[in-house]
């Protein structure tokens, strides 16, 4: 799906623009003389190469540029200029290089040669370095590209269901972008992007419910607790993941505690039932006239209960039975009321 999804991305308006203006079209040389100037010295060669691509685009797409009802191509063009200069000049000390090269381009447009000035399209878009004066200019670019592409994205999702999940995830991630500019526009209105009002209608929380996969995607993000307990951990995981509540683990502990409680109750009742019988037999043996008769009755088996410990052996062992319940932790059996 990843390779196939790339095809759907390629038809987004912003990508169509970048793809077209990046190409080394065979007719670029037609615009070479229009970019000749002796008024710039810094990065003249690089500035001329970019100038040719800009002029060709302005010439071939004049109608699209004039129609600003949908979006302003000139904003995309200026972001592209930054990319093009970065590719031509390299990444080392790039800020200073771009400043100088961009200044050369601006000079060409501000003080055009006669041949350039005579065209009907050169001033439809002008190099504008001001859009890079903000530290968050890359976020501004991302927001504007999303604004430009949204209608095509939604149309694609409506016609190709298999693209819904991926586009849904991408748009959902734009929430942080909108949070950033909501804060900027409220606290520093003078730094709010000029196009932000238009972008507001495409906030994720306002548009995602229109996607056919909305319920499916939200359910995947917030599984119900009952489903977690029934399904248990997947793929051998022994603990809930970061997005799970851990409800299943708590239920398991409660069940184990209840089971232990039941066992403790049954064993405790059994032991407590034996204890009175043993104590009664001991008392009859030691403190009543029946003692000698019991001794004769059991005969040689008497040692089973205890001359090893002396006369008090039987009672002592009987007391040890009681100690199973009340004494040290080694023989402790929990008893809990029902």
Residue 314: half-sphere exposure toward Cβ, Cα within 13 Å? 21
309/313 Cα distance (integer angstroms): 5
pLDDT at 91: 73
119/188 Cα distance (integer angstroms): 40
Tell which residue, 327, 33, 1, 323, has the closest CA to residue 162.
1
314/281 Cα distance (integer angstroms): 9
| Cβ atoms 244, 228 nearer than 8 A | yes
pLDDT in tens, 232-284: 554 444 444 444 344 444 444 444 444 444 444 444 444 444 444 444 445 44
93/98 Cα distance (integer angstroms): 9
Q: Which residues lie closer than 8 Å to 336 by C-beta, 6 or more apart?
A: 261, 264, 265, 268
Query: Which class for 69: exposed (0-12), middle (13-18), buried (19 or more C-beta within 10 A)?
Result: exposed
| Cβ atoms 185, 134 nearer than 8 A | no
pLDDT at 232: 54
213/222 Cα distance (integer angstroms): 14
Residue 22: half-sphere exposure toward Cβ, Cα within 13 Å? 15
**What region does 166 belong to: left with phi over 0, alpha with psi -120 to 50, or beta?**
alpha
62/147 Cα distance (integer angstroms): 21
294/72 Cα distance (integer angstroms): 111
42/227 Cα distance (integer angstroms): 65
Under DSSP, the state recorded for 91 is S
Q: Which residues lie closer than 8 Å to 61 by C-beta, 6 or more apart?
A: 73
Query: Which class for 116: exposed (0-12), middle (13-18), buried (19 or more C-beta within 10 A)?
Result: buried
Helix (H) or strand (E) holding 79: helix 73-89
Q: What is the pLDDT along the chain (338 residues), one digit of tens a residue?
A: 567 799 999 999 999 999 999 999 999 999 999 999 887 888 999 999 999 999 999 999 988 888 777 899 999 999 999 999 989 888 777 888 889 999 999 999 999 999 999 999 999 999 999 999 999 999 999 999 999 999 999 999 999 999 999 999 999 999 999 999 999 999 999 999 999 999 999 999 999 999 999 999 999 988 766 655 555 554 444 444 444 344 444 444 444 444 444 444 444 444 444 444 444 445 444 445 545 544 554 554 444 444 444 444 434 444 444 444 334 444 433 333 33
Distances (CA, A) of 37 to 81, 109, 184: 19, 11, 41
């Amino acid at each position: 799906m990843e390779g196939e999804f790339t095809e759907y991305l390629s038809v987004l308006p912003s990508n169509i623009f970048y793809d077209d203006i990046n190409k080394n079209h065979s007719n670029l040389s037609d615009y070479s003389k229009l970019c000749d100037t002796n008024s710039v010295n810094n990065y003249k060669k690089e500035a001329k190469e970019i100038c040719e691509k800009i002029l060709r685009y302005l010439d071939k797409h004049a109608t699209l540029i004039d129609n600003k009802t949908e979006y302003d191509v000139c904003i995309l063009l200026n972001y592209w200029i930054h990319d093009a200069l970065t590719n031509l000049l390299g990444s080392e000390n790039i800020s200073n290089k771009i400043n100088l090269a961009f200044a050369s381009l601006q000079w060409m447009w501000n003080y055009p040669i006669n041949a350039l000035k005579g065209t009907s399209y050169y001033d439809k878009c002008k190099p504008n370095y001001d859009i890079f004066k903000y530290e968050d200019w890359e976020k501004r670019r991302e927001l504007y590209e999303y604004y430009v592409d949204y209608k095509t994205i939604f149309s694609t999702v409506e016609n190709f269901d298999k693209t819904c999940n991926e586009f849904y995830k991408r748009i959902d991630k734009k929430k942080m972008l909108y949070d950033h500019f909501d804060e900027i526009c409220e606290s520093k209105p003078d730094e709010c992007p000029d196009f932000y009002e238009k972008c507001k209608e495409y906030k994720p929380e306002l548009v995602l419910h229109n996607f056919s996969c909305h319920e499916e995607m939200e359910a995947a993000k917030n599984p119900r607790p009952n489903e977690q307990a029934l399904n248990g951990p997947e793929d051998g995981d022994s603990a809930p993941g970061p997005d799970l509540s851990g409800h299943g683990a708590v239920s398991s502990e409660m069940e184990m505690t209840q089971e232990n409680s039941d066992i403790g109750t049954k064993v405790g009742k059994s032991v407590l039932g034996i204890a009175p019988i043993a104590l009664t037999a001991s008392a009859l043996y030691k403190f009543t006239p029946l003692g000698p008769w019991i001794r004769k009755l059991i005969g040689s088996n008497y040692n089973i209960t205890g001359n090893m410990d002396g006369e008090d052996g039987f009672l002592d062992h009987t007391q040890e039975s009681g100690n199973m319940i009340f004494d040290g932790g080694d023989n402790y059996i929990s008893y809990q009321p029902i």
